[in-house]
């Protein structure tokens, strides 16, 4: 482009020729931008394809490990019961240590809700929207913001029992309709499930201190 400009005597060109030259230079600049954009988008697509492929493979491996660990743990629990180290059939939490490696299995009952909680959540969201519209502060009303935050679901798509329990404490801040919605939440609190978590630790051979090993991408 520079060579073409230097070899042309712009001063000797007519008005039409200058306009044509300017149009040519603008088109070349446009083509250059398009080429850079297409190159960038191609590199982005290749990069994201590789990231997605490796991430998917990693998730599959982790899920496979979790499934394997659950199955093997159940089998070893049965061996422990036969050997007499498990106090009762209800005992689901224990620690296994072998050399410098430790596995902790912690199982506990988690309170949850049935389908009535979803109905209560829909009613509450509608109620809070009407409350927000009638509030002088609108969406900035702290009571509205707090209640909406407590309605957020976890990564499994479930309502959090502890958060919903905090909604009960706000009954005196609202009216009878709110209290009725809270009663529906309380009636829905009939489901319990066992949640089992696994924790890994390794002992430092120099000082004997146990350190938690967390196979989490964000913890590495």
pLDDT in tens, 59-104: 999 999 999 999 999 898 888 888 876 666 566 788 999 999 999 9
7/22: higher pLDDT: 22
Do residues 77 and 86 lie in contact, with contact meaning Cβ atoms separated by under 8 Å? Answer: yes
The strand ranges marked E within 69-215 are 94-98, 101-112, 191-203, 210-213
Segment 128-146, tens digit of pLDDT:
898 888 888 888 888 888 8
Q: Where are the domains of the chain?
A: 1-90, 114-189
Segment 96-114, tens digit of pLDDT:
999 999 999 998 887 788 8
Q: List phi, psi (to 5°) of 98.
A: -140, 110
pTM: predicted TM-score of the whole model, two decimal places: 0.57
Secondary structure (3-state) at 216: coil
Q: What distance in Å separates the CA atoms of residue 89 and residue 110, rounded to the nearest whole number?
A: 18
- Listed in sequence order, the residues at least 6 apart from 108 whose beta carbon sits closer than 8 Å to its beta carbon are 93, 194, 195
Residue 199 reports pLDDT greater than 80: yes
Q: Give pLDDT, residue 3.
A: 46
Which of 88, 98, 103, 57 minimizes the C-alpha distance to 201? 103
How many residues are present in the chain?
Answer: 220
Mutual orientation of helices 115-134 and 176-188 as an angle, nearest 10°? 160
Q: Give pLDDT, residue 189.
A: 85
């Amino acid at each position: 482009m520079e060579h073409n400009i230097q070899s042309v005597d712009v001063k000797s060109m007519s008005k039409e020729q200058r306009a044509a030259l300017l149009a040519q230079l603008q088109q070349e600049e446009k083509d250059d931008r398009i080429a850079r954009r297409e190159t960038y988008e191609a590199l982005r697509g290749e990069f994201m394809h590789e990231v997605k492929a490796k991430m998917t493979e990693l998730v599959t491996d982790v899920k496979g490990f979790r499934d394997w660990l659950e199955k093997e743990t159940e089998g070893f629990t049965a061996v422990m019961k036969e050997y007499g180290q498990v106090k009762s059939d209800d005992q689901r939490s224990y620690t296994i240590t072998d050399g410098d490696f430790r596995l902790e299995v912690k199982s506990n009952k988690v309170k949850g809700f049935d389908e009535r909680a979803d109905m209560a959540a829909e009613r509450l969201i509608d109620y809070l929207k009407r409350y927000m519209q009638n509030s002088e502060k609108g969406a900035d009303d702290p009571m509205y913001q707090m209640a909406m935050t407590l309605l957020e679901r976890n990564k499994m798509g479930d309502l959090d029992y502890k958060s919903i329990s905090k909604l009960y404490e706000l009954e005196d801040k609202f009216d009878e309709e709110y209290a009725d919605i809270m009663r529906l939440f309380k009636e829905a609190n009939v489901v319990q499930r066992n949640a089992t978590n696994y924790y890994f630790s390794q002992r430092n051979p120099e000082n004997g201190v146990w350190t938690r090993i967390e196979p989490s991408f964000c913890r590495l």
